[in-house]
A and B are shown apart, each in its own frame.
Chain A
Amino acid sequence: MPMNVELVSVERQVWSGQAKALFGRTPEGELGILPGHINLLGALTPGWPVRIEREDAPDLKIAVDGAFLSVRKDGVSVLAEQAEFAADVDVEQARADLHAAESDSGEHAAAARAWAMARLRAAGESV
Chain B
Amino acid sequence: MGAQLRVYRRRIRSVQSTKKITKAMELIAASRIVKAQARMREAKPYATALTRALAELARDNTLKHPMLTGRTQPRRSGILLITSDRGLAGGYNANAIKRANELANQLQGAGREVVRYVIGRKGVAYYRFRGVSLAGEWTGFSEQPAFGNARGATQTVVAALSATSDGLTADDTPGIDELYLVYTRFVNSVSQTPAVVLVSPVKGDAVAGAETAHFERPDTAAGADGDAEDGPGGAYEFEPEAELLLGSILPRYISARIFSGLLESAASESAARRRAMKSASDNATDLIRTYTRLANQARQAEITQEISEIVGGADALAAAANEE
**Interface positions of A (Cβ within 8 A of B):** 6, 8-13, 26-28, 31, 38-43, 66, 68, 70, 72, 77, 79, 81-82, 107
Contact = CB atoms under 8 A, between A and B. Distances in A.
A34 to B, nearest CB: 14
Contacts, number: 84
B86 to A, nearest CB: 23
A43 B237 contact: no
Given A6-B45, A11-B146, A43-B245, A38 B252 contact: no
A10 B49 CA distance: 10
A13 B245 contact: no
A35 to B, nearest CB: 16
Nearest to A70: B53
Contact of B239 (A6, A27, A66): A27
A82 to B, nearest CB: 8
B57 interface: yes
A43 to B, nearest CB: 5
Contacts of B236: 39-41
Given A70-B49, A70-B52, A28 B239 contact: yes
28 contacts: A6-B45, A6-B49, A8-B49, A9-B46, A10-B46, A10-B259, A11-B42, A11-B46, A11-B146, A11-B147, A12-B42, A12-B43, A13-B42, A13-B45, A27-B239, A27-B240, A31-B239, A38-B235, A40-B238, A40-B239, A41-B236, A41-B245, A42-B245, A68-B249, A70-B49, A70-B52, A77-B53, A79-B49
B243 interface: no
Interface string B188-206: 0000000000000000000
A68 B53 contact: yes
A10 B148 CA distance: 10
Nearest to A82: B147
A26 B50 contact: no
A81 B151 CA distance: 10
A101 to B, nearest CB: 16
Interface string B40-75: 001101100110110011000000000000000000
Nearest to A66: B252
A4 to B, nearest CB: 12
A79 B240 contact: no
Given A28-B240, A31-B239, A41 B53 contact: yes
B182 to A, nearest CB: 21
Nearest to B221: A73
B50 A11 contact: no
B114 to A, nearest CB: 27
Nearest to B238: A41
Nearest to A67: B252
Closest 7 CB pairs of A and B: A42-B239, A12-B42, A40-B237, A8-B45, A8-B46, A26-B239, A77-B49
B322 to A, nearest CB: 94
Contacts of B50: 68, 79
A29 to B, nearest CB: 9
Contacts of B146: 11
B248 interface: yes
